Structure formats: C-alpha cells, structure tokens
Structure 1
Amino acid sequence: LAGTLLAVQPWERQQGGCISSEIFHPSTGKLFLSCPTTTLPPNTNSGGVVAGGGHFVLRIAGQRRGAARFPEISCGGQHGAVLPFSDEDASIETLSHCSSFSDVTSVADEGGEASEDTAQEDFQYKLKGFIDSTVDKSAKTRQGALDGLKTAMATRILYEFISERRMTITDSIERCLKKGKGEEQRAAASLACLLCIQLGSGIESEEVFKSLKPIFKNILADGSANIQARQAVATSLGLCTLVAEDDILDVQATMECFESLFTRSYARADGTCPSISPQMSQLHVNALLSWALLLTICSASQLKGVLKTHLPRLQRLLESDDVNMRIAAGETIALLFELARDIDSEFEFDEWEELCNKLNALATDCNKHRAKTDKRKQRSVFRDVLKAVEEGDFQSETIRFGTERMTIDSWVRKRTYDAFREFVGSGMNYHLQANEFIRDVFELGPPVLVDSATMKAMKIPRFERHLHNSANFKARTKARSKFRDKRVDPNKTKPYILLCGADTIWNTPQAKWLCGVQAHRNVHTQSQAHEL
C-alpha cells in the first residue's frame, strides 16, 4: 500500500483490529481497518496496528503506474497513530477479531457489485481528467490526454458520457488542431474520427463535424503544414464525411479536395512519373483511399463521371515506385469495376486488355530491386485485383466476433471495414458487437446480448478447434500452391528430367537457357517428379 491513494468509507464500528492480509479482498479491492481516521505515509508496510476505535473500509481508489505519488493521505478528523506491523503484534485477540466476520462471502459479494460501480466511477473520473488536460499548457500533457481519450473510445462504448460533453471535446480538438504541432495534430484528428464513430450518424455527429470540417480542409490544402498532420487529416476527413455528412453535394466537394492531392501522382502528358518524396506519396495514398471510401456512397451519375475521368488515369499509378501507392491504386480500380458492374452488368473498359497485362505483371512481379516483403504483399493483393477485373470475383473473408460472424464479400465492404479498423484497431470486434452505428453500416441488426454462461457453453473445445484449423490450413495450402514459387537451386539437387506435355525440361541452367523459357517456374522437387 506504500504510496497508494486510499479512500476511506464508514463501516460498522468495532473495537480493536489491524491491517491484515486475512481481511483484504483482492476481488473488491477493500481493506477492513479499525480507526476513526487514518493517515498512511509512503513508507507504510503491508500492514500496521492502528490506534483507534471506529471500524472503516479502505478502498484502493485506482492509483496507476506513472501517476503522482502522494506523500500523505489524510481523511480528516483526529489522526490515529500507525505503527509498523510485525508477527509479534498479531496477538490471539487480534486474530480472533479478524475472524469474527461470520459472513465473509456475503460481504465479498456485496463488495463485488459495489466494485463494478466504483470502477465505472473511477473510469469516468479519469476521462474527465483527460478532457481537462487537453487544454493544459504542456504539449506533452495534451498529447497524453488525447491518447488516453483515443484508447478509451476505441475500446469502449461511451455514448452517454460523450454525448453530454461532445462540444467540450470538440473545442479541445479544434484548439489542438489549430495550435498543436505534429503528433498532437495527428492525435486530435484521430480523436475527432473516433468521436463521430461513438456518436453515430445523427445530429450530434453532424454538429461536431460541421465545426471541424473547415479546419480539416485548411490543414489538408496548406502546403506548409506538418506533413504527418496532413496525412492524418486526409484519413480522418474521409471517414468523418462518411459518418457525419448529410449533404451529397458536400461529399462531392470533399472528394474534389482529395482529388487535388492524389492526382499530383498521375503520370505527366509525356508519360514520365513525377518525382515525389515518400512522405508526400503517403499523403497521396491516404487521400486516394479516403476518396475511394466516399465512392461507396456516391450516386450512379457521379460514378459514371468518375469512371470516365479517373479510371484511364488510375492505371498509371500502377507504375509508381511506392508499393503502397501501387496497392492503393489497384484496390481502387477493383472497387471501381465492382461499382461499375453494379450499375451496368455489361460494363466494358476500352483499355481493359492493357490493364489486365499490368495487373498480371504486378501479381507475378519478380524484380530484384524491390524488397521481398513489398513483392510478397503486392503479389497477394494484385492476384485478387486481377480476379476482380477479369472475372468480377472477390476472395471473401469471414470475421468472427463473439457468437456472430460477418462475411467481407465485396470490395465495397472491404474498403469500409478497413477504414473503421484503422481507427478502432484491436477494439473492432467489440464495436462490431456493441456499437449500433457500426452494426447498421454492416447490416448486422441490433446487438445480440449473450451472457457468460451461454458463451462458455457455445465455445468449441480446443481439440476440435485444432482439427478445424488443420483442415483449413491444408485446404488453403492446396488452393495457393499454384501461385507459389517452385524454384529450386540446381546446384543443390540432382539432375533429373521432368516431362511436361510435349516439352522436356532438364533441371540445369543450360537446359533453361536452351529452352528459352522460364523453366524454373515449372520444375518440381525430385520426389514430386517421381510422383508425376
């Protein structure tokens, strides 16, 4: 207990007593202590004999690591002397008094219910402290307060608490965006987006976004502003517009704001690519992804204009040196093809064949000057993009949360899910379960309430989960085997002949050169050759 903030609450009066581990309940965080009022200095041991007559309950009030240490906590009134506790002081009389609590279980149960309310009060008190600290003079303190609010909103549903204080939080965000720098602006932009997610689509979030939208657009258009702040604003503005914007014309104006950024990465008229710094390229990537997110709520007439204007030029971004730009452009192209086919099932693109050739080259990219991780990530994405463009197919994915499952079965849903997950992070599954707005976006219906006993009964045994995962792993390996690189080092394997149709391919560099084909992509291991 040394240096820990304690709150003293009245309890029934008893005579004598001590601080003892036998009467400390970790589940409730309470200590039974005998004295009218108590002062615990930081050097107090785990127990002590207290001079006094009244029996009190001491509750640990949530002192956290890194918080300020209090040299002395006094509860007022006449102070009782605290003496170091030792085994000699633990007399039979004291022990019999400690065991005189006849119904310890009932006390613990009552304390358990009270501890939940107390924990909620402590949590809200901490949130109020964060809100107050967002206007502190210290930039470090403001940054910590913004991060604390972000973590709370990403991991809990706080609609009632936030709704009452939304304008106060909005004012703090506005102040941090205007006067802050770098990381503080990034945190404020992310907090604005989480605030809209908590409030949902309605008048409250519209009021918040109406105050912040001009500031977002000013930062985004200001070339002298911090580049990291502009990157964060580009992402936050897109999702805030999706959540809180009620006018489709304003949505279109925001999309034009994004277009003014990522179109700078388009190839020039002579076919050359502009020279852009990595940080500026990331800003263009964020703007492109936010623009693609807003495409999902555009009307058919707007989509036709976008297809005519941007689809021919977007494929030029596939030649960018930035792997993130290539991937963002590929996913946006797949999204546009999906939306176009929803409008017109017979949609045709004039440069379709050229586009497919580029996508196929990226899906099988083997350039040595690119990093292995970049190539691996790029090939995985562009295989799916190529299927979407050629066949209109999508590799579906199932998200499990609690007792429910959600299928990501389209590029529209994938772009929306990725946008929310970027802000909510690890709390996405919790929001899918409890956040009514996000459930409406993904058409999951009202939240499903399941108690812990039902959850435990529905849990699949560990051995069955292992069998299920093994079967999935085997099926996935077979499905992906045709896309994997089957090259072997000819110096480490014995030469053998593999018959492939009418062609005879030797596992030697000379044979590969004579055949004039990439024979190494068709050669299996020796054991597989025997099986064939």
Structure 2
Amino acid sequence: MPKGRSRKRKEKGHQSQPADTGSLDDDSESVCSSLDGSVMSEDGVGVGGVEEETEEDAEFQLAEHIDRLGEKSSRTRLEALTQVNKILRGKLVAHCLTGCRETLLDIITRGLKRVSGQERLDLLELSMLLTVQFGVDQPALAAALRPLVTQLAQDPTISAPERSECLKVLGVVVFIQVSDLLEVASVMRVLEEVLRKCRLDQVVASAVRSWTLLLSIAPDHSVPALFNCLLPALNSLLDKTSHLGVRVAVGQAVALLFELVREVDESLLDTRDSDRAYELIQSLATESDRHTARKERNHQRSTFKDILNTLEGGVGPERTVRSGVESVSLNCWARHVQYDTFRDLLGPAMNTHLAGNDLLREVFQMGPPPLLRVESKAHKLDRKYYNAVMAKQRTQSRGKLRDKRTVT
C-alpha cells in the first residue's frame, strides 16, 4: 500500500468532530429507523429486504442484456454478453430463461459462425453456462452445438484460445446433455485426434481435460480398450512437453485410467506402457528444474506426488470441500476432474450452484438441498444492525473526547 494513502487515512481519522449533544440521539434514531424498514417478518420473509431487491434487479438486468445481444453494434453485443455471462455464472436464474431458450440458442449458433475473437469466446462460455443452468432438460442445445463446435475445434485456421474454448464446450455439453454412450465415444475419438495431432499446448491441454472428463463417465467395458489405445499417446505427451498445463492434464488422465483399470481388471496394468508411465510420473514428481518458477515447480511436485500414489498403491487424493452447511467429498480422481471442470467455469460462485443447482447436486451426489433456517438469518441481521449502531456511537463519543482534550 502506498505510504501517502495510509498517511492520509491516519490524518483523516484524527480530525476532530463538532460536539453536538443532540446529534448522537438523532443519528442513532435515524439508523434504527432505516434498519427497521427491512426487518424479517414472522414467516422469515424479508419485508423490503435487500436480497429480494437484488434478485429482482438481476432478473430485470438479465432480460435487458439478452435483448441487447441482437444489436448490430459488436461493442454493444460484447458488453451485453459479458453481463449475461456474469449473471449466469453468479446466480441461479434458469426460471428466468424459460421463454428465451430458443432465442439464446439461435444467437449462439449464428454468432459462432459469423464472429471471431473475444465475442466468440464469450458465446462459447455462454453455451456452457446455459448448459449448467438448464441441466439435462435441453437436448436440443447439445444437438445444435455439438457439430458446430466440433468443426471449429478441428479448424487449424482459428486462434488457439478459440479452439481451446471449443474443446471445453464439447466436453461440458456432452458430459451434461448426452446420454447415448455411442455419441460420447464418438466425441472422445475427436478429442483423441486433436491431442495426437495438434502441436499447440493450450489446445492440447483442453483436449486432454475434456477427454478425461468424458472418461469419468465411460462404461466399464470400454476402459481396457481406452487404456491400451491412449496410454502410449499420453506417455509421449508427458515425455515431450514442458508446458505445466499439459503435464497436469495428462497426469490426471493417466491417474484416472489407472484408477478405472484397477476396478475392472488389475492385471491389465502389467504392460510396458504402464511401466513407462510410472517412470515419467515419478520423474515429474521429483523434478527440480531451476529454470521454472518456484510456484509452478511446487504445484507440479504436489500434483504428481498424488498421481504417483495412485499408480503405486491405488490410493487417490481425498479432499472435502465445504459448501455452506454441507460438504462435498472428493475421494477419487473422477470426482476431482469433475469438480475442477465446474469450478474453473463457475469460479467463486461454485458454492452458490452447489447449494441450489440440481445438476451439480446430482453429479456430486449431494441429494436434495437442505431446508434453510430463516430464523437464524434473521438473528444474524439483528446482530448486524445492532453492531452498526454501536459502532457509530463509539465513533462519535471518541470524537467528542478528542474535542475535550483539544480544549483543555
């Protein structure tokens, strides 16, 4: 923090305030009266509460921004897209989108064909957020997006960030919407082709992550073939790349493959490719390259130590994620991959969706959401209001004491 800024705050805190005997009572009464206007009713519903107004404002703003997505100005469309994605990421508003599903799908499909750059990236993000909001109720979304996004992901003429985002969309949309295992296998073959042939690290990392996400829901009978087919390619990527994102994505894919194969037939691990994977993982878990940043080096070591434990003894990393009064247990690599995918998409609002999004609660087997105790929330608001009044009284009384010291 700059010294000038902190000094200015300090001087401002020592300024004397006029001693007005009636101001304390008047101000405290005004604070109490303003707070009384938003107290909780006996039923626990906010009367003039801030949260209800915020929710209504967000829904109204969402409708306005969706209307602006069809404007001719690219700048206007881009600003509207940014705001729509922000609202969809942070709030559960699927009920507000019931009447405009087809409109949004039409905007996305037409826009992906015509625009490029940041606007295309935002449209791709919008398609993933809509899929998370709607859950499994929109098969038309996957049917319209899958062929278009697949074509863009395989197009070498578009930029690496756009291809990377297309691969993410392909993984998320198919994971959520597609129940036909043959279609899932078809998409996995597309991702395999990209990770084998592409030389762009960002694109390869996204292809591996999406492939691993779909691997987490693959049926048991397909695991041996996937293991024998993909493990040599994954070993080759680990051996050649120095990109941390690619290394971590490939390492998690290898760990999940070993985890699934152990559940099906552990004897399949007695191969030369398995031994080679173990050697590469062990090397990366102990690598001490001074040319890489310390933070990246520590992240690589900790990640590959967890992967090495899985390869050696079948022990996966166990982690518990708190979400309000609930918790999500990540006790296998499949859960870790799925959680990381949605966390990267939703960011800090992950807990909001875990609390009320039926799709995510089903994915992580959290069951129906618990009943909220509105009474405790009311008590919390009462304490907050009381503390606000008392804090103001303390500030004013200290100011009067400082005035008396100045006079004497």
Q: TM-score, normalised by structure 2?
A: 0.78
How many angstroms apart in 2 are the aligned matches of 1:415 and 1:388?
A: 14
> Any conservation in 2 of the 1:403–1:455 contact (CA below 8 Å)?
no
> Any conservation in 1 of the 2:261–2:268 contact (CA below 8 Å)?
yes
> Any conservation in 2 of the 1:134–1:146 contact (CA below 8 Å)?
yes
How many angstroms apart in 1 are the aligned matches of 2:52 and 2:194?
A: 49
Partner residue in 2 for 1:367? 289
For residues 264-275 of structure 1, the aligned pairs below 5 Å read: 264=197
How much has 1:371 moved relative to structure 2? 3.1
How many angstroms apart in 2 are the aligned matches of 1:335 and 1:405?
A: 23
Distance 1:112 1:376, change over 3 A: same
Partner residue in 2 for 1:398? 320
For residues 383-394 of structure 1, the aligned pairs below 5 Å read: 383-394=305-316
How many angstroms apart in 2 are the aligned matches of 1:259 and 1:354?
A: 20
- The AA in structure 2 aligned to 1:305 is A
How much has 1:295 moved relative to structure 2? 0.7
For residues 137-152 of structure 1, the aligned pairs below 5 Å read: 137-152=72-87
How many angstroms apart in 2 are the aligned matches of 1:384 and 1:366?
A: 17
Aligned partner (choices 297, 303, 310) of residue 223 of structure 2: 303
Question: Is 1:285 the counterpart of 2:218 in the alignment?
Answer: no
Partner residue in 1 for 2:214? 294
Aligned partner (choices 130, 133, 140) of residue 65 of structure 2: 130
- The AA in structure 1 aligned to 2:48 is E
CA deviation vs aligned residue, 1:433-478 (integer Å, no higher than 9, x gap): 11111101110000112225447999xxxxxxxxxxxxxxxxxxxx
CA deviation vs aligned residue, 1:345-395 (integer Å, no higher than 9, x gap): 444231233332222111110123333332221111110110000110112
Question: Is 1:316 the counterpart of 2:236 in the alignment?
Answer: yes
Distance 1:128 1:357, change over 3 A: same
SS in 2 for 1:147: helix
Partner residue in 2 for 1:246? 179
How many angstroms apart in 1 are the aligned matches of 2:307 and 2:112?
A: 37
- The AA in structure 1 aligned to 2:323 is F
For residues 48-197 of structure 1, the aligned pairs below 5 Å read: 112-113=47-48, 118-197=53-132
SS in 2 for 1:407: strand
- The AA in structure 1 aligned to 2:203 is L
How many angstroms apart in 2 are the aligned matches of 1:117 and 1:364?
A: 53
For residues 433-472 of structure 1, the aligned pairs below 5 Å read: 433-454=355-376
Partner residue in 1 for 2:18? none
How much has 1:151 moved relative to structure 2? 1.2
Partner residue in 2 for 1:338? 259
> Any conservation in 2 of the 1:153–1:194 contact (CA below 8 Å)?
yes
How many angstroms apart in 2 are the aligned matches of 1:348 and 1:358?
A: 15
How many angstroms apart in 1 are the aligned matches of 2:109 and 2:38?
A: 46
> Any conservation in 1 of the 2:317–2:333 contact (CA below 8 Å)?
no
Partner residue in 2 for 1:381? 303
How many angstroms apart in 1 are the aligned matches of 2:255 and 2:67?
A: 45
More helix by share: 2
Distance 1:361 1:456, change over 3 A: farther
Aligned partner (choices 196, 205, 209) of residue 263 of structure 1: 196
Q: How many residues of Structure 1 are paired with residues of Structure 2 in the alignment?
A: 342
Q: Which moves more between the two structures, 449-458 or 150-159?
A: 449-458
SS in 2 for 1:160: helix
Distance 1:136 1:123, change over 3 A: same
SS in 1 for 2:70: coil
How many angstroms apart in 2 are the aligned matches of 1:430 and 1:447?
A: 12
Q: Which moves more between the two structures, 153-162 or 106-115?
A: 106-115
Q: Which moves more between the two structures, 299-308 or 106-115?
A: 106-115
> Any conservation in 2 of the 1:362–1:378 contact (CA below 8 Å)?
yes
How much has 1:261 moved relative to structure 2? 0.7
Q: Which moves more between the two structures, 328-337 or 314-323?
A: 314-323
- The AA in structure 1 aligned to 2:113 is K
Q: Which moves more between the two structures, 319-328 or 180-189?
A: 319-328
> Any conservation in 2 of the 1:166–1:208 contact (CA below 8 Å)?
no
- The AA in structure 1 aligned to 2:270 is F
For residues 470-485 of structure 1, the aligned pairs below 5 Å read: none
- Identity of aligned pairs, percent? 29
Partner residue in 1 for 2:395? none
CA deviation vs aligned residue, 1:24-43 (integer Å, no higher than 9, x gap): xxxxxxxxxxxxxxxxxxxx
CA deviation vs aligned residue, 1:57-79 (integer Å, no higher than 9, x gap): xxxxxxxxxxxxxxxxxxxxxxx
Aligned partner (choices 138, 143, 156) of residue 210 of structure 1: 143
Partner residue in 2 for 1:428? 350
How much has 1:315 moved relative to structure 2? 1.4
How many angstroms apart in 1 are the aligned matches of 2:340 and 2:38?
A: 44
More strand by share: 1
How many angstroms apart in 1 are the aligned matches of 2:154 and 2:205?
A: 15
Q: TM-score, normalised by structure 1?
A: 0.61
Q: Which moves more between the two structures, 415-424 or 351-360?
A: 351-360
Aligned partner (choices 165, 168, 189) of residue 232 of structure 1: 165
Distance 1:259 1:354, change over 3 A: closer
How many angstroms apart in 2 are the aligned matches of 1:242 and 1:261?
A: 18
How much has 1:411 moved relative to structure 2? 0.2
SS in 2 for 1:365: coil
Distance 1:350 1:456, change over 3 A: farther
User: Any unmatched runs of 5+ in structure 1?
Assistant: 1-98, 266-275, 459-532
SS in 1 for 2:136: coil
How many angstroms apart in 2 are the aligned matches of 1:421 and 1:453?
A: 31
SS in 2 for 1:400: strand
How much has 1:243 moved relative to structure 2? 0.5
- The AA in structure 2 aligned to 1:243 is I
SS in 2 for 1:450: coil
**Greater Rg over alpha carbons, structure:** 1
How many angstroms apart in 2 are the aligned matches of 1:114 and 1:431?
A: 22
CA deviation vs aligned residue, 1:393-427 (integer Å, no higher than 9, x gap): 11211100111111111000000101111111111
Question: Is 1:326 the counterpart of 2:261 in the alignment?
Answer: no
SS in 1 for 2:270: coil
